Chain A
Amino acid sequence: MSTKEDVLNELLKRLDEAEPEGADELAKELLEKRGMSPVELVNALSKKLKEIGDKFGRGEIFLMDLVGSAEVMNSVMTVLRPALEKSKEKAEYVGTIVIGTVEGDIHDIGQRIVASMLQAAGFRVIQIGNDQPPENFIKAAEENGADIIGASALLTTTMPVQKKLIEELKKRGLRDKYKVIVGGAPTSPEWAEEIGADGHGADATEAVEVAKRLIGKG
């Protein structure tokens, strides 16, 4: 007979090996048959993902291993999310961040990497995808009680949308409610300052460091 710990270990192993096969079922089993609370489970998974992130930081595993693990986490979260919403307890996140690529820009990979690394650093990450207008960033932030909004632009022609996002926040009187980080190849700390953003990430590692620092956890 397998115990709750056995099933949990099996699920953590899926995370470790970036193997999505059967991960959802294991999560369901833990919630429905093994009496594990959704918060307890999220915390265990986040802790594991953090370990995996640390391994990446030390150069022991590669980027695709980290991203693979984060994707397993995402697929488990689709099972966990409804249960979490019903639950009275709160999961222990470092913070919540909405992340996406701005309108007119369909570059996706950069913000995906940043999202994986933020997850591995203990953040709750709301990924809204690419080609997103400012209002969608703001809507997702409002709905999820986010601390930070991260907007990526990979083209010089779409960089102005990052500026529009900040203007839109100001217009709605929400500018002080969220920290805003901008990133993407053509952006720079100077650009971030010019448009009044709170931080800039030159690469994924720096984005995570800046995010932590902005919410006082760095």
Chain B
Amino acid sequence: MRGGLKGGQLKILTNDQIYDIHLAVLKVLEQHGIKIEHEGALKLLKDAGADVDFKTKIAKIPQYLVEESIKKAPKTIRLYGRNPKYDFVLEGLRTYFGTGSGQTYVLDLETGERRRCTFKDMEELTRLGDALENIDFAMGSGTASDAPSGLMGLYEEKAVLLNTEKHFVMYSYHGAELTKLQIKIAELVAGGEEELRRKPIVTLYDEPQSPLIFGRDYIEALFEWVKKGLPIVWAPCTQSGATAPVTLAGSVVQTSAESLGGNVIIQLLNPGTPFIYGGVPLVLDMKYAVTSYTTASTLLMAVMLAQMSHYYDIPLWGTTGCTDSKLTDAQAAAEAALYIAAAALSGQNLIHDIGYMDSGLLCSADFIVICDELIGMIKRLLQGVEVNEETLAVEAIKEAGHAGSYLSLKHTRKLFKQEHYLTDLLSKSSWRKWISEGGKDLTKKAREKARKILKEHEVTPLPKDVVDEIDKVIKSAAKEVVH
């Protein structure tokens, strides 16, 4: 069981502003509604009291339904790893970090070349995340471009479940049939349907399309997953200025409306299903017509969403550890550091996308390693300071004496590790030592660490019969896809 450190020190919204945003969310859902391309969901909402137009497929959701569904969503959610030492509890201000999924390209760890991401890359990046101390959960880093397109979701699931013992947040490649197979594989690994329900080792990351559309395939996936009572993220990727209002407050209102609108369906379908609220608040760069992950605006929206989630008391799907840089350079490290600090200090909970580069198109092992290093440092920030007789150190000050030294005091040896966090890769040595060790910059050191981990780190393998069963599921699915 892992303990998540508490954030929440950073706030930008007043209580009054939080309430204004909430009222705006209720107005959007009740007056404007959501277009839902799924008959079953529309019926469900209609029966519960929503104003549904089956022709336009727009459901206008009354305030009381939104409020009731917020109440039904669990305030504390335990997520499981296939190794219990990686279990953790999402709640309140506790922060956890994980990788991101779906990038098309990868920076080759040996050559540095930008190339298409493969199944093998996904396996390696997952194993890397399994080894890194500050990564709490896994997503399918990258995309299996060498897998048949209809089966990418299954290949991702296999790559991750075989290569980490940590909790898996699985991207929904949508549709009822695929989701059923994804559940089947998760049940194989968990040891059965009941075992998976009691100890969910997988959370589904499913999403609405902005502005305000719930696509059929995505709701189908949601239905299959929620019927089983398994934890689900329902969070949009909004682009301020393009698929969401250009204003930050407006973007947060729409993101919230889309996410909470999904929760109404989730809680009607299966009350008490663990729902993770939030969104990935992005902006469209108006100079280059490209999505930006890391700007001052995305950081502000991330903090706002964290405050909204604390107001609703529902765990948040957070985003961090991203850069718009095309390589692991100074920009990448600077953007990641700022974003990780904002995510952690604002008290986001299930924080994904560690290692996202180039507008979400690129991943690399060295960047993930650098983010891990930064998270370690920021965790020390979250720990804060202890102020007591021992740490106030009046006795130690006297003991050292005027012009004395603290180096040889017992006080120093006893409390050093509690007070000071030592980084692994960031250069802290003298110039001479740095030169004698090859004069390497951070990226080079991160690459070497990644290579070392991939060479040495082993993940407890799944039993052979389970792997065989997984392969059978994929094989039979492949036949259907071909036909």
**Contact of A83 with B by CB under 8 A:** no
Return B448 CB to nearest CB of chain A, in Å: 16
Q: Is B416 part of the contact surface with A, judged by Cβ < 8 Å?
A: yes
Q: Does A166 touch B at the CB level, under 8 Å?
A: no
Whether B407 pairs with A203 at a CB distance below 8 angstroms is no
Known A202-B431, A203-B430: A64·B408 in contact at CB below 8 Å: yes
Give which listed residue, A64, A130, A205, A206, contacts B407 with CB less than 8 A: A64
* Residue in B403, B406, B416, B431 whose beta carbon sits within 8 Å of that of A106 in the complex: B403
B413's contact among A68, A106, A206, by CB below 8 Å, is which? Answer: A68
**Distance to closest chain A CB from B434 (angstroms):** 11
Enumerate chain B residues within 8 angstroms of A67, measured Cβ to Cβ.
405, 407-408
Contact status A108-B405, CB under 8 Å: yes
Count of chain B residues with a beta carbon within 8 Å of a chain A beta carbon: 14
Which single residue of chain A is at the shortest CB-CB distance from B411? A64
B413–A202 contact, CB under 8 A?
no
Which residues of chain A from 135 to 166 have a CB within 8 Å of any chain B CB? none
In the bound complex, residues from chain A placing their C-beta under 8 Å from that of B407 are 63-64, 67-68, 109, 112-113, 116
- Chain A contacts of B406 at CB under 8 A? 64
From B410, B416, B431, B432, A62 is in contact (CB under 8 Å) with B416
CA distance A106 to B403 in the complex (A): 8
**Residue interface mask B30-70, A partner, CB < 8 A = 1:** 00000000000000000000000000000000000000000
Q: Residues of B contacting A54 with CB < 8 Å?
A: none
Tell me if B479 counts as interface (CB < 8 A to partner A).
no
Contact B408 A203 (CB under 8 A): no
- Complex Cα gap A62–B420 (Å): 12
Expressed in whole angstroms, the Cα–Cα distance for A206 and B407 within the complex equals 20
B403 touches A108 (CB 8 A): yes
Interface membership of B455, Cβ < 8 A: no
Q: How far is the CA of A206 from the CA of B403 in the complex (A)?
A: 25
> Complex formed: what's the CA distance from A202 to B413 in Å?
26
Contact A206 B408 (CB under 8 A): no
Instruction: With both chains docked as a complex, state the minimum distance between the C-beta of B101 and any C-beta of chain A, in angstroms.
Output: 36
| A61, closest chain B residue (CB) | B413
Q: Is B433 an interface residue (CB 8 A)?
A: yes
Question: What sequence of 0s and 1s flags, for each residue 60-75 of chain A, a beta carbon within 8 Å of any chain B beta carbon?
Answer: 0011110110110000
Return chain B residues, CB-CB under 8 Å to A109: 405, 407
> Which residues between 408 and 430 of chain B lie within 8 Å of chain A, taking CB atoms?
408-410, 412-413, 416, 430
A35 → chain B closest CB, angstroms: 31
Does A49 reach chain B (CB closer than 8 Å)?
no
A64 to B419, CA, bound (A): 14
Nearest B residue to A19, CB-CB: B410
Which one of A62, A106, A112, A116 has the greatest number of beta carbons of chain B within 10 Å?
A62
- Which interface residue of B408, B412, B413, B416 has the most chain A CB atoms within 10 A? B408
- 0/1 interface trace, chain B 427-456, chain A, CB 8 Å (1 if under): 000111100000000000000000000000
B439 to chain A, nearest CB (A): 15
A202 to B407: give the CA distance in the assembly, Å. 20
**Is there an interface contact between B413 and A18, defined as CB atoms closer than 8 Å?**
yes
Q: What A residues does B405 contact at CB under 8 A?
A: 67, 108-109, 112
The residue of chain A having its C-beta at the shortest distance from the C-beta of B433 within the complex is A205
| CB atoms of A68 and B408 under 8 A apart | yes
The closest CB in chain B to the CB of A67 belongs to B407
Q: How far is the CA of A186 from the CA of B189 in the complex (A)?
A: 63
**Shortest Cβ distance from B423 into chain A, in angstroms?**
13
Q: How close is B418's CB to chain A, nearest CB, in angstroms?
A: 13
B432 lies within 8 A of A202 (CB): yes
**Which A residues from 94 to 131 make CB contacts under 8 A with B?**
106, 108-109, 112-113, 116, 130
When C-beta atoms are compared, the residue in chain A nearest to B417 turns out to be A62
Q: A108–B404 Cα gap in the complex (Å)?
A: 8
- Given contacts A18-B408, A108-B403, are A64 and B430 in contact (CB under 8 A)? no
From 371 to 428 in chain B, residues with beta carbon under 8 angstroms from any chain A beta carbon are 403, 405-410, 412-413, 416
Q: Are A65 and B413 in contact (CB under 8 A)?
A: yes
CB distance from B297 to the nearest CB of A (A): 42
A-B contact pairs, 20 of them (CB 8 A): A18-B410, A18-B413, A63-B407, A64-B407, A64-B409, A64-B413, A64-B416, A65-B413, A67-B408, A68-B408, A68-B412, A71-B408, A108-B405, A112-B405, A113-B407, A202-B431, A202-B432, A203-B432, A205-B430, A205-B433
Listed from nearest, the 7 A-B pairs whose CB atoms lie closest are A67-B407, A71-B408, A203-B430, A64-B412, A68-B408, A67-B408, A64-B407
Given contacts A64-B406, A206-B430, A206-B432, 9 further A-B contacts (CB under 8 A): A18-B410, A62-B416, A64-B409, A67-B405, A68-B407, A68-B408, A106-B403, A112-B405, A203-B433
